[in-house]
Amino acid sequence: MFMMADRTSSKANGFQESGPMSPEHYRSLRRQTTLRLSLTYLTPIVLLAIYFMFQYDAVVSESERLHLKAMAESQANTLDLFLSERQVNLSNVIDDPTFPTQPTSADLARNLEGLRRISNAFVDIGFFDSSGVQVTYAGPFESLERRDYSSEEWYSTLREHTASFVITDIYLGFRQRPHFTIAVSRVTQQGLIVLRATLDPQKIYQYLSSLEGSGEVVAYIVNLNGTCQLAADVIAKPLDTCSFVPPRTPRQGSIRATVKGSSAIYGYSWLHTVDWSLIVRKPPQHHQSFFSSTNLRVLGIATIMVIVGFIVIVNRSRKRVELQRDSDISRVQLGHAAKLASVGELAAGIAHEINNPLASINEEAGLMKDLMDPAFGTPVEPHELVHYLDSIQESVFRCRDITRKLLGFVRKTDIELKEQDIHKLIDEVVDGLLGHEMVVSNIEVTRDYGEDVPKLVTDGNQLEQVLLNILNNALDAMEDEPGKIAIVTRRTDDKVRINLSDTGKGMNREQLEHIFVPFYTTKEVGKGTGLGLSVSYGIVRDLGGEIEVQSSPGQGSTFTLVLPIHHETPIAEN
C-alpha cells in the first residue's frame, strides 16, 4: 500500500483562527522578528570581521620568517599540482568505460558528486556535443543547459585538436560570476565530445590568503596579459588590470619594482599548467600593527554592512508582519468559507432531522384539535392534554438542539483551549451532524475507543470541523455505495492518535501530493470546494498536531490525527 505522511512541527507555527490580533501582538512579533533576523544575519558579519582581523595579524607574524622567492616557488608548485589533479579527475570521468556516450543529467550529477568528494572546488559539470552545445548539465546554474559555447575560445582550442584539455583564465561567462574552466575532449565515433567542469576561484583564493600577512605580504595571480585572476582587495579585484606583471624569463625569481610610486620587492613563479604567475609582495620596512589600514577597512566595511543590514532587516520585519496580518485575515475567512461549504453539504440531512420533530408536532397538534372539537362530543380535561403538550415541547427542544449545534459550528469563534472529551466530540459529529447521512448512505461506523485516552486540551469547535471534513470526504469516496468507516483512538506517550479509515475508492500518488493544497479536489465539478482538507491541515497545525495519510487506489484511505494531550504553548506566541 502506498503511504504518504504529511507531518507538521509538533509545536504550533500559526496564529489564532480569530483573524487579526491586537496591535500589541504584532508589535511584539515585529520586535521578535527583527531581533531574530539581526542575530541570524548580522552576527556572522561581526564574527567574520573579528576572525579576519585576528587571522590577518597571525599570518603577518608567521610570514615574516619566509623568503619571498621560496614562498612563490613553493605555492606555485602546489597550485600546479592542484590544477593537474583536477584535470586528471575530469579525464578519469570521461575515460571511464561506464561513462555513457549520451549522459543524462542524473549521470552527470553522480559524476559531480564523485568529483566533489575529491575536491570541493568543483562547482558544476557539463557535457558538449560536436556542435558546441552543452546538451547535459549538472550543477546550481540549470539555465546553462542547452547553451551554445561553440564561439568560446576554450572550445575552439579543443575543436581544433590543438590540445586534449584546456584550463581557462578567470572569466564571467554566461553566469556572470568569476570562475574558471577545466575541459577535456575525446574523439569518438559520434564525433568530438567535451566534458567541462567549472571550479570556484574562491577555493584557491582562500588558500592564497594564508600567504598574506596583515599588509606586509600579499599574494596574487596574474595572467600573460596582466589581468588579475585572484588577489586581495588591496591589490586589485578579479579581472582588473594589475600594475605589475613579472617577466617570462626566468620562470621563478624576485625583483624590485616601483608601482604607483611605491617601491616593493616582488617574488614570483610562473605555473606550468596554465599561463599564470603567482606573485608575493613585501613592502620594505613596513611595521604592521593589529589596527592596520587593512584591518580598519575591514572593520569599517563590516560596520557599514551591519548598519545597512539592520535598516533592511527593520523594513523587512515590518513588511513581513504586515503580510502575516493579511494572511491571518485571509485564513480566517477561508476557514469560515469551508465551514459554510460543509453546512451546505449537510443541508439535506439537517432538513430531515428538523422535519421529523416538526412532523411530530403537527401530529400531536392535530390530535389535540380533534379532541377539542365539539363535533366529537367528548369533553376533554386540561390534564388529559399534558401528554400531547409534553410531546410537542420535546420536539421543539429537539429542533432547538439541532439549530444550536448548527449555529455553534458555523459561528466565527476564537480558538479556545480547554479540556475536551475527544470521544464525545466524535460521537457528536457521527451521530449528530452526519447521523442521517450515515443511515441513508448505508454506512456502517465502528468505533474502537482506547480506554486510556484522556481528555485533550484543545479547541472542540475547530476539532469538530476537522472531523466533519474528513468524514464527509469518506462518505463521498464511497460513491453512494454501502461501506464502512472505522474510528480508532489510542494514546502514545503524550499524544493521542485518531485513525479515521474508510473503504472508499482511495487516492493515487499524485492526488496525495496535492490533497492539502487549497481548492484542490478529487470530487466531481460542483460537489466540492477543495477547502476542507486545506483548512483541516491549518487547524491541526495550529493545535500543535499532525495529519498523516495512507491511501492507495481501490483500498480506501486512512487519515490519522496526532494531537498533543497538553497544549502548553499559546497558539499566538509564534
- 545 and 563 in contact (C-beta within 8 Å)? yes
Mention the CATH class of domain 346-411.
Answer: mainly alpha
Inform me whether the pLDDT recorded for 308 exceeds 70.
yes
Confidence of residue 71 (pLDDT cuts 50, 70, 90): confident
Rounded CA separation 64/71 (Å): 11
| pLDDT tens-digit series, residues 213-266 | 434 567 788 998 888 888 766 677 778 888 888 988 888 888 877 777 777 778
Grid coordinates belonging to 206: 582562500
DSSP state at residue 155: H
Nearest partner of 264 among 237, 243, 241, judged by Cα: 243
Q: Which whole number is the average pLDDT over 54-61?
A: 66
pLDDT value at position 287?
44
Q: Which whole number is the average pLDDT over 545-550?
A: 89
pLDDT value at position 520?
64
- 231 and 244 in contact (C-beta within 8 Å)? no
Provide CB contacts within 8 A for 210, sequence distance 6+.
Answer: 59
Strand order in the sheet with 546-551: 3-6, 546-551, 557-564, 495-502, 483-492, 443-449
Q: Which superfamily does 64-290 belong to?
A: PAS domain (3.30.450.20)
Domain span(s) for CATH 3.30.450.20 in the chain: 64-290
Nearest partner of 530 among 518, 547, 512, judged by Cα: 518
Q: Answer whether the bond into residue 250 is a cis peptide, omega within 30°.
A: yes
Instruction: Output helix, strand, coil percentages for the chain, rounded to the nearest 5.
Output: 45, 20, 30
- 149 and 132 in contact (C-beta within 8 Å)? yes
Burial call 342-356: b when 16+ CB within 10 Å, e when fewer? bbebbeebbeebbee
Inform me whether the pLDDT recorded for 375 exceeds 90.
no
Confidence of residue 371 (pLDDT cuts 50, 70, 90): low
| pLDDT tens-digit series, residues 80-134 | 888 999 999 999 999 988 888 889 999 999 999 999 999 888 999 999 988 899 9
Rounded CA separation 360/346 (Å): 22
Confidence of residue 562 (pLDDT cuts 50, 70, 90): very high
Domain span(s) for CATH 1.10.287 in the chain: 346-411
Nearest partner of 125 among 134, 137, 141, 113, judged by Cα: 137
Q: What residue type is 467 in one-letter code?
A: L
Do the bridges between strand 218-223 and strand 262-270 make them parallel or antiparallel, or are there none, so unpaired? Answer: unpaired
HEC readout, 472-503: HHHHHHCCCCCEEEEEEEEEECCEEEEEEEEC
- 65 and 218 in contact (C-beta within 8 Å)? no
Q: Which superfamily does 1-18+413-574 belong to?
A: Histidine kinase-like ATPase, C-terminal domain (3.30.565.10)
Domain span(s) for CATH 3.30.565.10 in the chain: 1-18+413-574
Residue predicted with more confidence, 176 or 197: 197
Compute the residue count for the chain. Answer: 574
pLDDT value at position 386?
72
Confidence of residue 334 (pLDDT cuts 50, 70, 90): low
pLDDT value at position 128?
93
Inform me whether the pLDDT recorded for 430 exceeds 80.
yes
HEC readout, 212-246: CCCCCCEEEEEECCCEEEECCCCCCCCCCECCCCC
Q: Which whole number is the average pLDDT over 547-559?
A: 88
Q: Which whole number is the average pLDDT over 290-306?
A: 79
